Amino acid sequence: MLEQPILKLNGHSLTVQDVVNVARKGYQVSLDPAAVSFVERGSSMVRRWVDSGRVIYGITTGFGDLASVTISPDQSQQLQENLLKSHACGVGSPLPEETVRAIMLLRINTLIRGFSGIGLPALTQLVNFLNLGIHPVIPDQGSVGASGDLCPLSHLAVAMLGFGEVFFNGKRMEALAAMKEAGLEPIRLGPKEGLALNNGTAALTGLAVLALYDAKKLLKLADIVGALSIEALHGVPYAFDARTHELRPHVGQKNVAANIRKLIEGSRIVETYKKDRVQDAYSLRCMPQVHGASRDAIDYVSQKIEIEINSVTDNPIIFPSDEDVISGGNFHGQPIALAMDFFGIAMAEIANISERRTARLVDHKLSGLPPFLVENSGVNSGFMIPQYVAAAVVSENKILAHPASVDSIPTSANQEDHVSMGFHASKKGQLILENAKKALAIELLAAAQGIDFSHPLKPGKGTSVAHDRIREAIPHVKEDVFLYPLIDRALSLVGSGTLVAAVEEAVGPLA
C-alpha cells in the first residue's frame, strides 16, 4: 500500500484543497515543529494559572450559566472529562467519515496555533486518530453553532478518552477496542483541554468546506449543461456578446458569458437558427446574470471559509506572550452561518433556472421539439416525469433555502442567548447542493435528447464534446424505457467531473 502524502500543519496556511486531500484522499498530517513550541508555551501557562488559583472561565469555573461556580485545582481533570461526557449527547445519523476527517483536521489546525491551552499529548492523540483512520461516530444533530459545535466536537473528543464509538477499518466499534487494535491508549485531560477540544466551529466549517469545493466544480458544469439547452432549443447568441457584460461588469456574469461563447463557438445549430428571433426566454438569455450571481456568492463564501479554517475559534483564548486570558466569542458561528445561508440560496438558484430550461425542453409549444422529447408521443411519455422530478427537488430547495441564521434560540439558561445555527446552515447547504446536481442531471439528459433532433447540424466546439460524452454513457431514448438508470448515469456524469474535463480539453479552461 502506497504511503499517503503528509500535510504539515502550522495553523496559518491550510487551504480548501488541503482539507479535501485529507478528508477524501486520506492524506496524513504532521505538526510543524515551530508551531509545537507555541502549543507547549500555552499549556504550561495554563497549568501555572491553575496552580496559583487564578479564576479563569472553563478552567477553574463551571461552564455556561455555571461560570460563577469555582472549581478547585484537584478537580480540574474531572471537570474537563465531565465536560466532554456530558456534552457528547447528540442524536441522529453518524456524519460521513470524510466529514469527520475534515472536522478533525480543522480542530488540529486551530489547536496548533497555541492559543487554546491544550497540551501536546492530547493534540498528538487527535493527530494519531486522524492518521490511523480512527473516525469517531458523530451524530448529525445537536449543534446550535455557539458555543461553536459543542455537541459534535464532544463526540469527537470523548473517543480519545476511550468513550463512545468510532469507525475503524470499515467497522463500527467501541473506541477502546479500536484504540487497542491501533496501539493507542486513552488520554487523561489537563486543565482547559476538554474545552479546547470541544469549543469551536470545526464541525459546521468542515461541512461547509466540502460543500464549497463541490459547488465550485458544479458551477462550470452548470454552464455546460445550460449551453447544451441553448443548442437544443435553437437559442440565439446575442445575449452573450461581451459588450453587454462590460457595461455591467460583475465578475461572475462576465465569466459565464465568456464560457457560453466558448462552448457554442462554431455551432451549426446556432448559426442556422440565429435569424429566427432576436431574443430568448430568460432561462437562456439571462444565464450569465443568474449563474454569475451564484458564482459571485460562492466567491464570498469561499473568502469566509478560507479565513475560518485558519482561525482560533474556541474560548477562553490564551495569550501567552501577554500572560493573559480573554473570554470572548470567537466560537460563535455567525460568519459561516450567514455565508452558508447565502451558499444555499446561490445553489438553489442554479437548480431553479435549470428546471425552467428543462420545462421548456419538454414543452413542444415552446421548444419546437417533439412533445416530451420523444417520437410517437402519446403512447410514449418520454421526459414528462423527469421534469416533475426536477420540479420536486427544486421545490424542496426552496424550503431548505430559508436562512438558518435568523432562527436563534436561547441556550444554557439564557447565558448563551443568541446562537448561529451555523451547523444547520452548512448541513442544508449540502442538501441543496445535492439537489442541484439532480436538477442539472435531468436537464443534461433532456438537452442531449433535444440536440439529437437537430441532426445533422452539429453543436459548438464545447457542446459537441459534451454531447458526445453523454452519448457514450447514455443512449438516445427512442421510446419509453426504464428511466431511473439513465438519470443515475447522468448524475454520475455530473458528479464525477469527467464531463467538465473533456470539454476543457477541447476548448481550454472554463472560468
Mean pLDDT of the chain: 95
**Nearest Cα to 347, choosing from 431, 444, 223, 254?**
431
How does residue 127 score in pLDDT terms, banded at 50, 70 and 90? very high
**pLDDT, tens digit, for every residue of 309-361?**
999 999 899 998 898 999 999 999 999 999 999 999 999 999 999 999 999 99
- Write down the pLDDT at residue 68: 77
**pLDDT, tens digit, for every residue of 304-316?**
999 999 999 998 9
Q: What class does CATH assign to 208-311+343-507?
A: mainly alpha
**pLDDT, tens digit, for every residue of 66-87?**
777 887 877 888 889 999 999 9
Task: Using CB atoms within 10 Å of the CB of residue 36, give its burial: 0 to 12 exposed, 13 to 18 middle, 19+ buried.
Answer: middle
**Distance between CA 370 and CA 510 in Å, rounded?**
32
Catalytic residue among 27, 57, 213, 273: 57
**Distance between CA 392 and CA 248 in Å, rounded?**
34
Which percentage of the chain shows pLDDT scores above 70?
Answer: 99
**Nearest Cα to 233, choosing from 468, 384, 392, 459?**
459
Cell of 86: 456530558
- Write down the pLDDT at residue 88: 97
Give the helix, strand, coil percentages of the chain, each rounded to 5: 60, 10, 30
**Distance between CA 218 and CA 432 in Å, rounded?**
12
Please check the confidence at residue 208 and state whether its pLDDT lies above 60. Answer: yes
Active site residue 57: yes
State the average pLDDT over residues 58-64.
76
What is the domain partition of the chain in residue ranges?
6-200, 208-311+343-507
- Write down the pLDDT at residue 1: 46
**Distance between CA 115 and CA 325 in Å, rounded?**
9
Main-chain dihedrals φ then ψ at residue 13, nearest 5 degrees: -125, 15
CATH superfamily of 6-200: Fumarase/aspartase (N-terminal domain) (1.10.275.10)
State the average pLDDT over residues 124-132.
98
**pLDDT, tens digit, for every residue of 362-415?**
999 999 999 999 999 999 999 999 999 999 999 999 999 999 999 988 888 888
Please check the confidence at residue 286 and state whether its pLDDT lies above 90. Answer: yes
Which percentage of the chain shows pLDDT scores above 90?
Answer: 87
